[in-house]
Amino acid sequence: MDDLDRAIINTLQAGFPISDAPYAQVAASLAISTEDLLARLQALLADGTLTRFGPLYNAEQAGGALTLAAVQVPEARFDEVTAIINAFPEVAHNYARSHTLNMWFVLATETPQQQQHTLAAIAGQTGLQVYNMPKLKEYFVNLKLEA
């Protein structure tokens, strides 16, 4: 990642313009062409530097629900359980951890009831206990990449 890639990521984290040509607006603020901006974003996604590029919504304000959940997965079943959990469209992120609870995932649902249903379905399909850890307080963490 070079200085321009860092500037692109930092700029986009600060907000995405709502306009007829948002990419052109961002590109102009970085003094690059829209084509260069799009090519760099595609390269950052392709090489795994970025895993996702898209909007972040406050699910609770829209009537939905978010939660962090964890599972203790036997090492021999890790790939199998990962596939089961990742098959749920409500799973936003899934991470391996060096902890007794070695798989953590974020669940985003349209309603709180759907959250409980999905957690129960994951437990049923995996045969494992799913620990639901809803947020008690929200913190904003802003990542800025130094040039």
Largest CA distance in the chain: 53
Residues 26-64 as b or e (16 or more Cβ within 10 Å = b): bbeebebeeeebeebbeebeeeeebeeeeeeeebeeeeb
Delimit the domains of the chain by residue range. Answer: 3-46, 65-133
Backbone φ, ψ for residue 8 (5° rounding):
-60, -50
Helix (H) or strand (E) holding 65: strand 65-71
CB atoms within 10 A of CB 146: 6
What pTM value is reported for the model?
0.65
CB atoms within 10 A of CB 71: 20
Q: How many CB atoms lie within 10 A of CB 17?
A: 12
pLDDT digits (tens, 9 = 90+) for 88-122: 999 988 999 999 999 999 999 999 999 999 999 99
Length reported for the chain: 147
CATH 3.30.70.3460 is the classification of domain 65-133: yes
- SS3 assignment, position 130: strand
Confidence class of residue 140 from pLDDT cuts 50, 70 and 90?
Answer: confident
Lowest mean pLDDT among 12-16, 88-92, 124-128: 12-16
